[in-house]
Amino acid sequence: MINHIDLSAVQAVAAVLFCLGLAVALTRRNVFLLLMGIELMLNAVNLSFIGFSRGFAGAESLFGQMTPIFIIAIAASEACVGLAMVICIVRGRESLDSDAFADMKE
Amino acid sequence: MKVSFELLWLIPFLPLLGAIINGALSLGGARSAYGASRGFVSLIAVLMPALAFVITVIAAFTLSGVATAGLNNALTQTLWEWIAVDVAGFKFVLSAGLLFDKLTSMMLLFVTGIGTLIHLYSVGYMWEDRGFARFMAYLNLFMFSMIILVIGDSLPLTFLGWEGVGMCSYLLIGFWHHNNEYNDAARKAFIVNRIGDLGFLLGAFALFLVMNSNGMGSMNYRDIASWFQNPANATAITGASGLLGAACVLIFLGCTGKSAQIPLVTWLPDAMAGPTPVSALIHAATMVTSGVYLLARLSDVFVAASAPVFFGLDPLDIVLIVGCLTAAWGAIAGLVQLDIKKALAYSTVSQLGFMFMACGVGAFDVALFHVFTHAFFKATLFLAAGSVIHGLHHEQDMRRMGGLAKLMPITYAWFWCGWFAIIGLPGGSGFFSKDLILERLFLGGGFAPFIGAVALTVALLTAIYMTRVMYLTFWSPARHSDEVKGKVHESPATMLIPITILGFGSLVVGVLWSPLLEQYGIGTHAFESYLKPVLGSAQDAYAKLAHPGGHAAHPSAWLFAGAGIAAAVAGLLIARWFWSRGHVNSTEKDLVGFAAWWTWGFDRVYFAMIILPTKVVAWIMAWIVDALVAGAVGLTAEVARFLGDGYTSVQRPRLRSSLALSAAGAVGLVSLLLLSGTLAWVVGLAAVGVAVVFLLLEFLL
């Protein structure tokens, strides 16, 4: 059943997700929403890999399925570090506005 | 047929267990002011080697019931497969196995036996020391390594023990590490031994090459021995004589390192920085004799390597000459020492030379007999010297001793026995072993009789320097320093009991091989026949090489015994004439004149030939590193900083701006790479346009 899903359909969904994530990251000023946008982009890329593992590199290739696992692991650690940093910054200035952080460059 | 004995692993394991327990106790008590509980530590430390000794005795009795002859007269235990290589047609399998034959059993009996006694002695000697548990842990670890050295059934396993004893020697020489001179001595011992270890390794590899190229890729001793004993391999051995000679010389280099022979001799006198039990156990009785053990273990190889390698000398000739030179050098150095332990250390060097001389004329069993008797009398001397040092409150300088025969009568009595044995007065153990060496030298082929004449002179010197020690320490009037005057005391029982046993042993163990006494019904060839299964084949082969026409007329053994006794008595009288009033020719603190020149000669040669060039090279290297490498590193850092500064001026402070710019850049790059024709230009330019617009907005807002 799942074999009948078109490769381009999977990629289209991934592309839409990626653009949504990018839009969130670019437009929202809340720093948590910014992080969520980045997560969304990462997961769109994961989806794209999964799709390619089916239709692009041949059925026996596991590369497309391995990579998302690595990405998930790295994204988890990145979220850890990122959230910890954000919490530290937010405590210092009592604001969630990412634009308010712009003075950090000296 | 191999005879398996399932308890063998306990012999090395028990001291290792003791080392682990005592190491843990030492670490556990590190924070407290007094350290771990002395009683429990000493119980573990003495019990473990004692149990190993008991198992060794059981194994020796089991072995005496094994009827098979030659190489199969042994107990074995295979522990696990250690190395298994099967790559590109090269197959090599090595199991970690234990081999308990007559040679191993002889070595182990005195290593564990004397080791146990010295552990007991250490309890008394080190009791007040803050690092008591640490000391005992090191000592047990040394026992483990030494046992592995002699019980391992292959060259790699022996090498493991060889390195282990070297490390323990390093740890124990530098045991009092608050004194930097002691640390230097420890490092010196370690580094000099590393040179020898390299020789051991390369020699083992060369030996493996010789055998592997003839289809016998094994490092197991029994395989090596049987391969070299097999007459079918004679042509292969002759064909590989060059490599085989190199292997023997390199392995002997390893022996010179561990057994302090010329040229790697200088570390042993310095090693006296360690506590006295260490000097007795490691640097007199056991570890320094492992070079002789290794030669005996590979006796078949050395006898087979009869082709000249160097100025017409075959490997055993080199062993003979090196042993002779070392014996003479050590004896002369012993004449001028002021420190009682150093005098004994040079004596050890000299006696080790005797052992190697015996190896050099193919008399491996005689060499081991001297190892055996030397272990007793030198351990006695060292332990008694330790008792003297203990009684005099850490005074080691013989110029401030004297008169101790009355003040420390028990210590004196046993030191006297050790002295009696080492100078070769009739009846002591050294008398029998040294006279056997002299006999073999004088009856040997080639230039061996000349070496024998030197050895006889060295025996005379031995009597002189040892009697000098006796006079300065015990017989002459007291010259104690004011601090210890009237406070000299005899040592505690834990120290005197081991000295008593060893001192008694040094008087009597000689009868184990005493052809002289055979006609009176108390002497035997027991020691010789005991080692026959291991060494007999090599010694017979050597005898055939040295005396192709059969033995020459054998003069009476009393001739050599008489010469030995004459040398001992003459030495005694000469020493009496010189030192009977406690006269020491120098009042300086350090050695001066001939004494310094002679004993430090090797250090000076090393300084000029090795240390100085190394320092020059190090200085040049330091300059290169400072000027060139550090410059290159600094330049790289400057470039990175320059580029970084440039980049930060482009970097946008707002997160969203950075993100948008990188997204636009990514779109531009991807379109240039993947799309073609006008479309690429359109999308790329659009991305750049977006970025520019964004930047403008950013600056305006």
Q: Give the pLDDT score at B346.
A: 92
Identify the weakest region by mean pLDDT among B38-47, B89-98, B202-211.
Answer: B89-98
Q: Angle at CA B306, nearest 5°, toward B304 and B312?
A: 165
- Distances in whole angstroms, Cα of residue B178 to Cα of each of B128, B131, B273, B392, B693: 16, 12, 12, 22, 72
Asked if A98's CB is within 8 angstroms of B656's CB, the reply is yes
Please check whether residue B654 touches A, CB under 8 A: yes
Find the closest chain A residue to B656 by CA distance.
A26
Order of strands, sheet of B3-4, starting from the edge strand that comes earlier in the sequence: B3-4, B74-87, B90-101
For residue B397, the 8-state DSSP code is B
Show pLDDT as tens, one digit a residue, over chain A (106 residues): 455 667 788 889 999 999 999 889 888 888 889 889 999 999 999 998 888 877 655 555 677 888 899 999 999 999 999 899 888 888 888 888 887 877 776 5
Residue B220, judged by CB atoms within 10 A of its CB (0-12, 13-18, 19+), counts as buried
User: Is the ipTM, as predicted for this complex, more than 0.95?
Assistant: no
pLDDT band at B321 (very low <50, low <70, confident <90, very high): very high
User: Touching check for A101 and chain B: CB below 8 Å?
Assistant: yes
Q: Is the pLDDT of residue B532 over 70?
A: yes
What is the rounded end-to-end Cα distance, in angstroms, of chain A? 57
Contacts of B648 in chain A (CB under 8 A): 105
* Confidence label for B167 from pLDDT (cuts 50, 70 and 90): very high
- Say yes or no to pLDDT of B597 above 80: no
pLDDT over 70 (residue B357): yes
CA nearest neighbour of B440 among B603, B597, B555, B579: B555
Percentage of residues in chain A having pLDDT higher than 70:
87
CA-closest candidate to residue B433, choices B344, B500, B365, B518 = B365
Residues B513, B515, B520, B526, Cα dihedral to 10°: 30
| Cα dihedral across residues B285, B290, B295, B299: positive or negative | positive
Burial B128-142 (b: 16+ CB within 10 A, else e): ebebbbbbbbbbbbb
* Mean model confidence pLDDT for chain B: 87
Whether residue A105 and residue B648 make contact (CB cut-off 8 A), yes or no, is yes
The full 3-state SS of B411-446, as one line of letters, equals HHHHHHHHHHHHHCCCCCHHHHHHHHHHHHHHHCCC
**End-to-end Cα distance, chain B:** 96
- Cβ contacts of B30 within 8 Å, gap of 6 or more: none
Q: Which residue has better confidence, B218 or B326?
A: B326
pLDDT tier at B412, thresholds 50, 70, 90: very high
CA atoms within 13 A on the CB side of B331: 26
Which residues in chain B have Cβ-Cβ distances shorter than 8 Å to A99? Answer: 654-656
The span from the CA of B497 to the CA of B505, in Å, is 12
Contact residues on chain B for A104, CB-CB shorter than 8 A:
653
Q: What is the pLDDT of residue B589?
A: 59
Q: How far apart are CA B293 and CA B287, in angstroms?
A: 10
Mean pLDDT of B656-679: 80
For residue B71, what are the contacts with CB-CB under 8 A and spacing of at least 6?
B101, B222, B225, B226, B229, B533, B534
DSSP reduced 3-state for A56: coil
Q: How far is CA B520 from CA B37, B429, B516, B524, in A?
A: 53, 17, 8, 10
Q: Assess contact for B37 and B134: CB atoms under 8 A.
A: no
The pLDDT score that the predictor gives to residue B585 is: 53
Q: Using 50, 70 and 90 to split pLDDT, how confident is the model at B592? A: low
Q: What pLDDT sits at residue B587?
A: 56
For tokens 């240039």, name the residue.
B672
Interface test with A, best of B656, B657, B690, B694 (most A CBs within 10 A): B656
pLDDT of residue B23: 92
B274 Cβ contact partners less than 8 Å away, ≥ 6 residues apart = B172, B173, B174, B175, B182, B185, B186, B282, B283
Instruction: Give the Cα separation of B551 and B544 in Å (integer).
Output: 9
Whether pLDDT at B374 is above 90: yes
For chain A, what's the residue count?
Answer: 106
Residue B578 CB-density burial (10 A; 0-12 exposed, 13-18 middle, 19+ buried): middle
**Which of B465, B449, B467 lies closest to B563, judged by CA?**
B449
Digit-coded pLDDT (tens) for B446-498: 888 899 999 999 999 999 999 999 988 888 888 887 777 777 888 888 888 89
Six-digit token pair at B275?
A: 């506590």
Give the pLDDT score at B324.
Answer: 94
- Among the ranges given (B86-90, B326-330, B492-496), the one the predictor scored with the smallest mean pLDDT: B86-90
pLDDT of residue A74: 92
Locate the chain B residue with the closest alpha carbon to A98: B655
Residue A9 distance to chain B (closest CA, Å): 20
Of B150, B141, B145, B133, nearest in space to B43 by CA: B133
| Residue B188 predicted with pLDDT over 60 | yes
B184 closest CA partner among B122, B258, B272: B272
In this prediction, residues B278-288 reach a mean pLDDT of 89
pTM equals 0.78
For residue B416, pLDDT beyond 80:
yes
**Phi/psi of residue B8, each to 5°?**
-55, -35
The CA distance from B262 to B321, in Å, is: 10
pLDDT at residue B262, as a whole number: 85
* A98 touching B (Cβ < 8 Å): yes
pLDDT computed for residue B528 by the predictor: 84
**Band of residue B699 on the pLDDT scale cut at 50, 70, 90:** low
pLDDT for the residue numbered B327 = 94
- The answer to whether the CB of B412 falls within 8 A of the CB of B500 is no
**Is omega for the bond preceding B263 within 30 degrees of 0, making it cis?**
yes
Burial group, residue B265, by CB count within 10 angstroms (0-12, 13-18, 19+): buried
Contact state of A22 with B663 under an 8 Å Cβ cutoff: yes
The 3-state secondary structure of A43-89, one letter per residue: HHHHHHHHHHHHHCCCCCCCHHHHHHHHHHHHHHHHHHHHHHHHHHH
Report d(CA B15, CA B139) in Å as an integer. Answer: 9
* DSSP code of residue B651: S
pLDDT tens string B129-140 = 888 899 999 999
- Interface with chain A: mutation pick from B649, B651, B659, B674, highest number of A CBs within 10 Å: B659
Mean pLDDT of the region B160-174:
93
Q: Taken in order B306, B308, B314, B317, is the CA torsion positive or negative? A: positive
How high is the pLDDT of residue B397?
84
Q: Residue B104 — pLDDT band, cuts 50, 70, 90?
A: very high
The C-alpha atoms of residue B170 and residue B518 are separated, in whole angstroms, by: 44
Q: How many CB atoms lie within 10 A of CB B665?
A: 13
pLDDT above 90 coverage of chain B, percent: 39
